[in-house]
Amino acid sequence: MLLAVDVGNTQTLIGVYAGSDLASMWRITTDRARTADEIRVNLIPLFESAGLQLRSIHRAALSSVVPQLTETWCRALRDAAGVDMVVCSARTAGDLFRTDYPNPDEIGADRVADSVAMRALYGAPCVVVDFGTATNIEVIDAEGRFIGGIIAPGLQTSAQTLFNNASKLPAVTLHAPAQVIGTNTVEAMQAGIVLGEVDRVDGLLRRVFDQLSYEAPVVATGGLAPLIAHHSKLIDHVNPNLTLEGLRLIVEARG
């Protein structure tokens, strides 16, 4: 079995594959202070809940945007399963990730994994929008090359900033109101936060298409992808497991 781990700034996504099938998946809070022993101990009940054992893992891949947890996860898997994790990067992705980017080493591991999965599953050209702590837009051109993208504050990040800095505005649940003109404070905030994110993403996608001189399929991933995609005019598909799929493909390509 194959373990794929995507360590984000806020949440960590853990997936176990049996062949190409995602057998189990968990989403846990990212804790920068967590030790390798704590990770190993916390994995045991997750695996047991799915009728799995850590020792059944024979291959593993890691995408991490939290540098202090990269080696911690690697050590945890060596101790728990005797497996060395493939740490995702533009280099370790090999021929699956083609780019003319001036400095490929600066491309985030999650952006690499998303792009690998996007190209493999949806072809080229294609665009992925990853809704996480940041909202990332990655662009694969008609020749199958990663040509760059956009990084913006994420939906929850922007909302939390508003809640923290506007003392009279309450924290609200993130869903779209029935109409854009709110008739109370909560509806007005939901319109600005959620529908504002929809229009920001659609507007950026239109600019991407203008620069490319052609349109491309757009796939959304990340925890809030279904919410935004439902109201977007340009997002074609939602694939919440895109990053994990990219990690699986990178490991399998390495043999």
Domain layout of the chain by residue ranges: 2-87, 123-240
The answer to whether 40 and 225 are in contact (CB under 8 A) is no
Cis amide leading into 217 (omega within 30):
no
Give the CATH H-level superfamily of domain 123-240.
Answer: ATPase, nucleotide binding domain (3.30.420.40)
Q: What is the largest CA-CA distance in the chain?
A: 58
The pLDDT assigned to 57 comes to: 95
pLDDT tens digits, one per residue of 171-221:
778 888 889 999 898 898 889 889 999 999 999 999 999 999 999 999 999
Q: What is the rounded average pLDDT for all residues in the chain?
A: 93
Q: Please report where in the chains the tokens 């649940």 appear, as a residue.
A: 173
Q: Would the pLDDT of 167 be above 70?
A: no
Average pLDDT over residues 239-248: 95
Helix boundaries (H) for 58-184: 67-81, 109-122, 155-165
Q: Would the pLDDT of 255 be above 80?
A: no
199 is catalytic: no
Angstrom distance (rounded) from CA 60 to CA 77: 8
pLDDT tens digits, one per residue of 8-47:
988 999 999 999 999 999 999 999 999 999 999 999 999 9
**Which residues lie below 8 Å from residue 118, measured CB to CB, with a gap of 6+?**
126, 127, 128, 138, 140, 219, 242, 246
Q: Which of 6, 110, 114, 130 is catalytic?
A: 110
The pLDDT assigned to 46 comes to: 94
Does the structural domain 2-87 have CATH classification 3.30.420.40?
yes
The pLDDT assigned to 168 comes to: 65
Q: Would the pLDDT of 92 be above 70?
A: yes
Record the tokens describing residue 169, joined without a space.
Answer: 């505005």
Instruction: Give me the count of residues in the chain.
Output: 255
Could you tell me what percent of the chain has a pLDDT over 90?
Answer: 79
pLDDT tens digits, one per residue of 122-159:
999 999 999 988 899 999 999 999 999 999 998 888 88
Q: Residue 25 carries which side chain, given as an amino acid letter? A: M
